[in-house]
Structure 1
Amino acid sequence: MKRYLVLEDGSVFAGTAFGSDKEMHGEVVFNTGMTGYQETITDASYCGQIITFTYPLIGNYGVTADDDESVAPSCSGVVVHELARRASNWRNELSLDEYLRQHDIPGISDIDTRRLTRILREEGVMKGALVNELGDAKAKAAELKAAHFSTQQVEQVSTKSAYTDPNKGLRVVLVDFGLKYSILRELAQRQCNVTVVPSDVTAAKIEQLHPDGVLLSNGPGNPEDVPAALPMIRAVQERYPLMGICLGHQLFALANGATTSKMRFGHRGFNHPVREIATGKTVFTAQNHGYAVDADSLAGTPLLQTYTEINDDTVEGLRHRDRPAFSVQFHPDATPGPHDARYLFDDFVALMKKNKQTKQGAKADAKAE
């Protein structure tokens, strides 16, 4: 069956349909990872986007439920050069085609993904549609150009009610803006007792949970579309150690007076080199974001830049000058991807332990008086 990818600039790619027969539109982006297609597709940060994989062969090891990063994928489509005819892996449970059909997501194969990626790099990410009948391509492109897509992606992917991932260690409140399960796995490895809460949680609700620390998760879309989170972050960072990842990093920046802006084509892949400013150490990271914190906007804020992206000098990490709070643009949970930055979860745990000991010491002093 034929399928077409139409871009708002009028570009048309004809290919072969797989996955669902449903027609979908979304922002067309590209991911440079050589593996990990399932984790990418199930990353809620791709909500509403059509994912182009630059690696030429996708689907060769199939799909297994153990590798999901969310309950169900929320992307709008998948674009590949070649879809593997047969999945071969001892863990395989479904083919990628079967998996996308199961979740009603369309895919297109047998197109020149190098050409498509070049367009997106030169012109920037743009709106597109996967359609089964081409019709008037110019009219469809004009329609896409004028379309206004939903800005409520975080609301779509965030949990609607709180739930726990119980353990016997430090209590962490994890604010779900579109979290990856790999964050939960990293916290579980450190015996953290986690309560996951919706994105619209208030500081008062978090306080009722008596956390030792608060983690702001990754998530999709423009951070400026989540203004309700900013007063919560400002209040929380005054009382508890705080860590932000990806969208959580951007919201941490906004809450402290910095600004963000949309990137031309973003960072989406598992090979992004980041330099720690204090030490000069280079860390290879997994990234997935289309917005970045404006470096010039940090002047006059209580924030200090801690990491920079080596390829384009974008802001990759921040630390509050007066509070035990920090954030990173990349994914230290890194599934899939390099594990270089996992130590940041240890840093978060250390901050929580230190803050808890300080509070206990203050209580003991007050009781002695």
Structure 2
Amino acid sequence: MTTAYVALEGGHVLEGRGRAPGTARGELVFTTAYTGYEESLTDPSYEEQVLTFSYPLIGNYGVREERFESDRVHPRAVLARELTTDVANWLESEGVPAVDHLDTRDVVTDIRDGGAMQCGIAVGEDVTEEDALEQLEACKAMSEHTDIGAQVSVDELETYGEDNDGPTVALVDCGVKGSIVDSLCERDAVVHVLPYDATPADVEDADPDVLFVSNGPGDPANYEAAIELVEEYVDDLPVAGICLGQQIVARALGGTTEKMAFGHRGVNQPVMDVETNQVVMTTQNHGYTVADPGPRLEVTQFNVNDDTPEGLDGTDCDVLTRQYHPEANPGPYDTLGFFDDVLEMASRSRTVPADD
């Protein structure tokens, strides 16, 4: 059995079974999802994190590429009670260290009690506890990854749905999930995916009907270019955002954000709509939240568990954002209507050329 060590912030070291070799470090977080491990592992929002699965068996329905949200695995390492051979082999092929035979109940409890923490991982035939501790020592806080967007964003414009004739979306890629782009294209939108550090000139070239800021990893305060884009266009274009995108929009419009103790990660987060008093179940993956939406946004949805903002609408501008993932990959499907609402907002803003 290959040896594996997990060094936790505070000096405690766990020993487990190594399933994919290597060393790694990152912010230790957990997800409560029973299914959707392929989607979670390829979600760019997990960049620079070590993902712990609270569900005990990961891999019981194999690995299928059509479920991937991006072209690679993003967590720096993976912890589980038990990983199937399919998943372990996949992670090894991706160069992502993996450890199982851990008491993940204890790991999750530690995170819930103490918050997301730094950790170091060492997996291999000859690794020692000191190897894991060295990784921990070199680990940076999430807020210190000041250019994390560069690790997950496109390098240049990419266009999807070119033959569609619906609204045109300029999507700022801070680590977008593929199913968000698919959800827009399925509704006849033309989607221009722009780099996370896109300029106003890039947006002008796209000539969009709506500016859309995607999900992604890290501290929203570090996405200065995206914040400036929202500031530039909020009174000229409708603006939408998902997850990190909601936080970026809030900061651009005078709001504030803060780091959460251990975040929301899973597919069973209950969200209440203020107007309808209806509760829907949502998929979420974020470690930061909006603390104060600012003077131009109102909270229209909130998390039933902790009252954090889950939906923001503009009071004097066309803005619509969600903290959760309405594309529902993996499920549930309660919130897919968000994309219809965004594209309806975009359609209202379209300029119709006058007849000659």
SS in 2 for 1:23: strand
1:58 and 1:83 in contact (8 A); partners too: yes
**What is the percent sequence identity of the aligned residues?**
38
Deviations 1:166-217 (A, max 9, x none): 2322211111000000101111210111111101111232122211112110
Q: Which of 277, 281, 294 is the matching residue for 1:280?
A: 277
> 1:159 is aligned with what amino acid?
V
Between the aligned partners of 2:206 and 2:232, the Cα distance in structure 1 is: 15
Shift, 1:76, TM fit: 0.2
TM-score calculated relative to the size of structure 2: 0.93
Once residues 293 and 215 of structure 2 are traced to their aligned partners in structure 1, the CA distance between those partners, rounded to angstroms, is: 21
Cross-structure match for 1:5: 6
Map Cα deviations across residues 17-51 of structure 1 (whole Å, 9 max, x no partner): 112x2100000000000001010000000001000
The 3-state SS of whatever aligns with 1:27 is strand
- SS at structure 1 position matched to 2:22: coil
For the pair 1:256 / 2:233, whether they are aligned, the reply is no
Equivalences for residues 170-185 of structure 1 within 5 A? 170-185=167-182
- Within 2, Cα distance between the matches of 1:9 and 1:249? 33
1:123 maps to what in 2?
A: 114
Task: Tell me whether 264-273 or 196-205 shows the greater mean CA deviation.
Answer: 196-205
Is the alpha carbon distance of 1:56 and 1:293 closer, same or farther for their aligned partners in structure 2, counting shifts above 3 Å?
A: same
Residues paired across the two proteins, number:
349
Matches of 1:157 and 1:175, distance apart in 2: 12
For 1:3-152, list aligned pairs within 5 A: 3-19=4-20, 21-85=21-85, 95-132=86-123, 133-136=127-130, 140=134, 143=137, 150-152=145-147
Q: CA deviation at 1:152?
A: 2.2
Q: How does 1:350-361 map to 2 (within 5 A)?
A: 350-356=344-350, 359-360=351-352
Residue 323 of structure 1: how far off its partner (Å):
1.4
Partner of 2:149: 154
Distance in 1, Cα, partners of 2:145 & 2:297: 31
Superposed displacement of residue 103, structure 1 = 1.0
Could you tell me which residue of structure 2 aligns to residue 89 of structure 1? Answer: none
Shift in Å, 1:150? 3.1
* One-letter code aligned to 1:40: S
* Counterpart AA for 2:220: P
Among residues 344, 347, 352, which one is paired with 2:341 in the alignment?
Answer: 347
* C-alpha separation in 2, matches of 1:141 and 1:210: 46
Whole-Å Cα distance in 2 between the matches of residues 233 and 199 of structure 1? Answer: 12
**Partner SS for 1:228:** helix
Q: Deviations over 1:231-266 (max 9, x none)?
A: 211112222222100011000000001100000000
Letter in structure 1 aligned against 2:238:
P
- Which one-letter code corresponds to 2:114 in the other structure? E
| Secondary structure of residue in 1 paired with 2:343 | helix
Look up the SS of the partner of 2:62 in the other structure: coil
Shift of the alpha carbon at 1:79? 0.5
Instruction: Map residues 281-300 of structure 1 onto 2, 5 A cutoff.
Output: 281-294=278-291, 297-298=292-293
What secondary structure is seen at the aligned counterpart in 2 of 1:326?
strand
* Distance in 1 separating the partners of 2:186 and 2:137: 48
Whole-Å Cα distance in 1 between the matches of residues 43 and 192 of structure 2? 20
Question: Separation in 1 of the partners of 2:235 and 2:81?
Answer: 49
Contact in 1 for aligned 2:25/2:139 (Cα 8 Å) = no
Contact in 1 for aligned 2:6/2:132 (Cα 8 Å): no
Q: Which runs of 5+ in 2 are unaligned?
A: none
Distance 2:136 2:213 in 1: 38
TM-score for both structures, normalised by structure 1: 0.90
Cα distance change of structure 1 residues 231 and 146 upon mapping to structure 2, 3 Å threshold: closer
> Structure 1 residues 308 and 83, CA, compared in 2 at 3 Å: closer, same or farther?
same
Find the partner of 2:309 among 291, 301, 315: 315
Q: Is the 8 A contact 1:27 1:50 kept in 2?
A: yes
- The question of whether the paired residues in 1 share the 8 Å contact of 2:250 and 2:290 is answered with yes
Report if the CA contact (8 A) 2:120-2:133 is conserved: no
Deviates more, 1:127-136 or 1:216-225: 127-136
Give per-residue Cα distances to partners, 1:217-242, cap 9 Å, x unaligned: 00000001112221211112222222
- Mapped to 2, the partners of 1:211 and 1:271 lie a distance apart of 34
Residues of 2 paired with 1:234 and 1:114: CA distance? 43
Query: Is there any run of 5+ residues in structure 1 with no aligned partner, and where?
Result: 86-94
Following superposition, the deviation at residue 353 of structure 1 comes to: 1.4
CA distance in 1, matches of 2:319, 2:146: 28
TM-superposition CA deviations, 1:295-337 (whole Å, max 9, x none)? xx335x1111111000000011111111111111000012002
Alignment partners' CA distance in 2, 1:10 and 1:77 = 19
1:146–1:259 distance in 2 versus 1, CA, 3 Å: closer
Show the counterpart of 2:330: 336
Answer whether contact 1:36 1:336 (CA < 8 A) is retained. yes
Indicate yes or no: 2:205 matched with 1:220.
Answer: no
